[in-house]
Structure 1
């Protein structure tokens, strides 16, 4: 094989390696350019509640598929609408179906981002991350991937998208990565879906409720559960840091 052929082969390998990342960047641009990324808000969902519920009732499987797909793409593309979509899942589909849909959507989105980062990141990028302030994160993926990832998934306000990319760059084992992501999504998906369903019930009785809505059981119980999960996950993070 000539030097020219080797150079061409190397160039094509680099291009192919970056295709998943480029497709993901394209999806991000499309979501913002279409206005969909900024239109996804709980206020808009509430304002269009009647139409959305009618569409879900008319074609529940299609609506659920679209919801899961949108959740996955938004998660992978770093569009910060996960909280809104978790609430919307319970609001539109009910707490149990909403929980399942958000777990599947967030896990698929995390897999897409992981694959894109893993293909794009070469040895040079991984070596650079290992020498940066990310080296602790990279070491955690190597030493105890499932436990470490599960802790990161449960910690409140953890940078979900950055963890996906870092895990891909570090080449964290795929099965523990998927398992920890799916298990870690359960508590928050469950709580926010129930909260969304509770808010939906409250809005049916009063479209413009006051602060007393927080005292209603269907809203107060999910908020209490959220506080407890945040407390427990905070303790888990501190324990992980001392190990």
Structure 2
């Protein structure tokens, strides 16, 4: 009888532990939307609060950077579609290199959080269902060449970043390959958008209401050209990996 009770308790603990990452992720999502923070994160908001934000960064740069990384990670894990805004804001507030580094770390941490939540929550039944559904090709890619396949998905423009995190977790893609591909894949776009954000920041300092001519300035135009080139390279990379 004692062994039966102990066995039930162990099963209960395993079930609770299995759902903890998902529960934390749901709680973070609810908190971001309930607080209104998810709606407040926008380019207009960053520009409107530029002086205050720059003052906070200058007063406590390490804390500001840590808050930025944590916010980026939570937003990424919680499917809050503010990644582009935060990438631009990172370069805008911290400079292109530091901003890009913070973006890479934040996006990778958020992706890992979503991956773990999906991996723990999705049992063998879910995995078998996905293997028989229209997601079969995705599952095969994770199993056949996980790093290359994940890196391709990370580099392709407009790839559903959040869905890839969940799918990789449900498919139980190798953790090291997942983290490595996510980290490497985040670097190019983070650099380009951070440089673009820094360029826009300098443009805002010159003129509070910049017009279309801002696109002709090197600090803005060059990152945009780099973004276009990166998109073309990513598409070619995807075709070669197919």
Question: When the two structures are superposed, what TM-score results if normalisation uses the length of structure 1?
Answer: 0.96
CA-to-partner distance for each residue in 1:72-106, whole Å, 9 max, x for gaps?
11101111100000000000000010010000000
Cα deviation, residue 15, structure 1: 2.4
1:124 & 1:7 partners in 2: Cα distance?
22
Cα deviation, residue 7, structure 1: 4.7
CA-to-partner distance for each residue in 1:173-230, whole Å, 9 max, x for gaps?
1111111101100110000000000000001011111111111110110000000111
Question: Is residue 116 of structure 2 the alignment partner of residue 138 of structure 1?
Answer: no
Counterpart for residue 195 of structure 2 = 194
CA-to-partner distance for each residue in 1:125-144, whole Å, 9 max, x for gaps?
10111111111111111110
2:97 & 2:237 partners in 1: Cα distance?
27
Aligned to 2:85, the other structure's residue is in SS state: helix
2:5 & 2:97 partners in 1: Cα distance?
58
Counterpart for residue 172 of structure 2 = 171
Counterpart for residue 35 of structure 2 = 34
Number of aligned pairs?
Answer: 241
Counterpart for residue 225 of structure 1 = 226
Aligned to 1:209, the other structure's residue is in SS state: coil
Across the aligned residues of Structure 1 and Structure 2, the Cα RMSD in angstroms comes to 1.2
Cα deviation, residue 5, structure 1: 5.4
1:175 & 1:95 partners in 2: Cα distance?
28
2:138 & 2:10 partners in 1: Cα distance?
33
Question: Is residue 82 of structure 2 the alignment partner of residue 89 of structure 1?
Answer: no
1:124 & 1:15 partners in 2: Cα distance?
18
CA-to-partner distance for each residue in 1:16-41, whole Å, 9 max, x for gaps?
20111011011001000000000000
Q: Greater CA deviation, 114-123 or 188-197?
A: 114-123
1:146 & 1:160 partners in 2: Cα distance?
15
Cα deviation, residue 237, structure 1: 1.5
Counterpart for residue 105 of structure 1 = 106
Listed as ranges, the matches of 1:176-187 within 5 Å are 176-187=177-188
Question: When the two structures are superposed, what TM-score results if normalisation uses the length of structure 2?
Answer: 0.96
1:239 & 1:9 partners in 2: Cα distance?
48
Cα deviation, residue 13, structure 1: 2.0
Cα deviation, residue 69, structure 1: 0.5
CA-to-partner distance for each residue in 1:48-88, whole Å, 9 max, x for gaps?
00000000000000000000000011101111100000000
Query: What residue ranges of structure 1 are gaps of 5+ in the alignment?
Result: none
Query: What residue ranges of structure 2 are gaps of 5+ in the alignment?
Result: none
Q: Greater CA deviation, 58-67 or 229-238?
A: 229-238
Counterpart for residue 80 of structure 1 = 81
